[in-house]
Structure 1
Amino acid sequence: MRSIRQDLAEVQKAHWQSTYTAHLEMYGEEPSAPAVHAAEVFAAAGARDVLELGAGHGRDALHFAAEGFAVQAADFSATGVEQLRRAAQARGVDGRVTAAVHDVREPLPLADASVDAVFAHMLLCMALSTREIHALVGEVRRVLRPGGVFVYTVRHTGDAHYGTGAPHGDGIFEHGGFAVHFFDQALVEALADGWSLEEVHAFEEGELPRRLWRVTQSLSR
């Protein structure tokens, strides 16, 4: 028997597919501010390759490639991944970008200690349960090399949409068809257990505006 959580996940996947189809390059061509910052952090750490989770149509993955990183990009929307591939070819960076369809509720299809850095902009705060988020961060830790860096962003409980819209439990609320898991400080700290928590930076983005945290954590060498 399917659970309500599984049904929500499938609805969200279909919603993102239709959204990317209806709105080509919906986030524009310019990289997000967190990606620009992450590229600097990754370079300072000596990273050579980056895994981006929830890459969408690729604006941030393309920025990492333009900065000289080898990029593996993943998203659960086949439409978004195809747009990313076409954009990488158009920009002449397809030799540094590998894109694949992947649902982060499943284990990452990568070997242990195989990447230098991982980036995820507003992926962890999608329609994922707390248990699924912990499992995903465990997978990130598994695939990172010693000294690896993980930068992610999430909407938090100080956001104007927190506690409003359609509730799905476990801190998840839905607005306009998009479900968001709003993070509190305790969840950020729990996800950093066994890591070095370098920074939790508050910032705002987009309409409302959305209120987010940019979290940077690393593994010991």
Structure 2
Amino acid sequence: MVEGQREHWERTYDEHPEMYGPEPSEPAVHAAEAFRAAGAREVLELGAGHGRDALYLARAGFSVTAADFSPVGLNQLADAAAHDGLSGRLRTVAHDVRTPLPLADSSVDAVFAHMLLCMALRTAELHALTAEVRRVLRPGGSFVYTVRHTGDAHYGAGTGHGDDIWEHGGFAVHFFPRELVDALAEGWDLREVQPFEEGALPRRLWRVTMSRESNQGLV
């Protein structure tokens, strides 16, 4: 399933380089405001795709590391950053989040991920990923992520892969029950779980904000 999803995203970005349009997502706008209020400067975006949110964060003045497992999407993002004069504030990293993040401990102020955690990731992989996010965040740093949840219209539709992962229209999605949000927040300061809708279906999602407490260690 992993390689199939990678190939599907590669084809999608190649055939539809502006599939999400130029405007940032609502969660990215919210995250920028929250990160700025917290004094963040260096931001990691996971699942950056072809970059509408990474570009927005760079335009907002953050130094952005944009990670994704699609070289096609990242090439589109790098070209857009160069065109907009943002190359000095944005770098791309090809990375599969099933493996450890290629950053040092306590090296970024904030992490943003719009619908990355609800891709075809097993629950054990999600726990490993959130532990990696906590590792690379500086004390007091924020993690804002969004996920489709089990109240979404596509939950239970299409091909089931187990672990609440359902494939519809070629895209595999891990739909989150609230219990999974709480489980991933263990060891964090869970600040907010905000429901919202996006798109024409509409997709039903949660925007989750967590922070690594200032006095926390890594274990």
Fold agreement, TM-score > 0.5: yes
Residue equivalent to 2:42: 49
Residue equivalent to 2:143: 150
Give deviations 1:57-83, integer Å, cap 9, x for gaps: 000001110010000000000000000
91, 98, 104: which is aligned to 2:97? 104
Following the alignment from structure 2 to structure 1, what is the Cα–Cα distance between the partners of residues 159 and 57? 36
Provide TM-score, normalisation by structure 1. Answer: 0.96
Residue equivalent to 1:161: 154
111, 121, 127: which is aligned to 1:128? 121
Q: Does 1:194 align with 2:190?
A: no
Following the alignment from structure 1 to structure 2, what is the Cα–Cα distance between the partners of residues 92 and 70? 13
Q: Does 1:70 align with 2:63?
A: yes
Match runs of 1:12-27 below 5 Å: 12-27=5-20
Matched position secondary structure for 2:30: helix
The runs of at least 4 aligned residues of structure 1 exceeding 3 Å deviation read none
Number of residue pairs the alignment of both structures matches? 214
Q: 1:220 Cα deviation (Å)? A: 1.1
Cα-Cα RMSD: 0.5
Following the alignment from structure 1 to structure 2, what is the Cα–Cα distance between the partners of residues 49 and 29? 22
Letter in 1 for 2:113: A
Give deviations 1:73-121, integer Å, cap 9, x for gaps: 0000000000000000111111000001100001000000000000000
Using the aligned pairs only, state the percent identity: 70
Q: 1:166 Cα deviation (Å)? A: 0.4
Residue equivalent to 2:131: 138
**Unpaired stretches in structure 2, ≥5 consecutive residues:** 215-219
Provide TM-score, normalisation by structure 2. Answer: 0.97
